[in-house]
Amino acid sequence: MVTIPITKRGAEKLKTELHRLKTVERPGVIAAIAEARAQGDLSENAEYDAAKDRQGFVEGRIQEVEGKLSVAQIIDPTTLDAGGRVVFGATVELEDEESGDTVKYQIVGEDEADLKLGLVNISSPIARALIGKEQGDTAEVKAPGGLRRYEVMSVSYT
């Protein structure tokens, strides 16, 4: 069975979503279907069709989240000891060698990635280029705008 890495924070986020889907969304859809059924003829009932569509979406998402959690390998970055190397869950401060700009990224799982928050997907080009690097190393990233070079300024596990 293939496991999918996810940070502790990401797993909690998925668990919260699953709880909301099961305790809020599912009962709400059931109530909407019951209300639409009470209106009579189901063949021309748009509210019924919309509620059934919503039910399909909610049930599908519940299955998807449960599936992800069942194969998740939960990693707590604070317990990592990778000897200063960039690994899954590590937070990396980088300096663009061309512009001198600095950026800070944490390498996370697919469901957690949000570039605006500095969370990059483990399978993204920048994360793949950084894995295994240490402070002082240079990572070359093939970006859509061409080859970018970043110097690893620091690696932390928070």
What is the model's pTM?
Answer: 0.80
Query: Distance between CA 31 and CA 37 in Å, rounded?
Result: 10
Query: Distance between CA 3 and CA 110 in Å, rounded?
Result: 13
Confidence of residue 1 (pLDDT cuts 50, 70, 90): low
Confidence of residue 131 (pLDDT cuts 50, 70, 90): very high
Residue 51 sits in the same domain as residue 85: no
82 with 14: CB under 8 angstroms? no
Residue 46 sits in the same domain as residue 85: no
Those residues whose C-beta lies under 8 Å from the C-beta of residue 2, and which sit 6 or more positions away, are 71
The CATH number of the domain where 127 resides is what?
A: 3.10.50.30
Q: What is the DSSP letter of 77?
A: G
Residue 70 sits in the same domain as residue 90: no
The CATH number of the domain where 12 resides is what?
A: 1.10.287.180
User: 89: number of CA atoms within 13 Å, CB side?
Assistant: 21
Among 50, 75, 100, the domain-final residue is 75
Residue-wise pLDDT for 58-100, tens only, equals 999 999 999 999 999 999 988 887 888 999 999 999 999 888 8
Q: Which domain holds residue 32?
A: 4-75
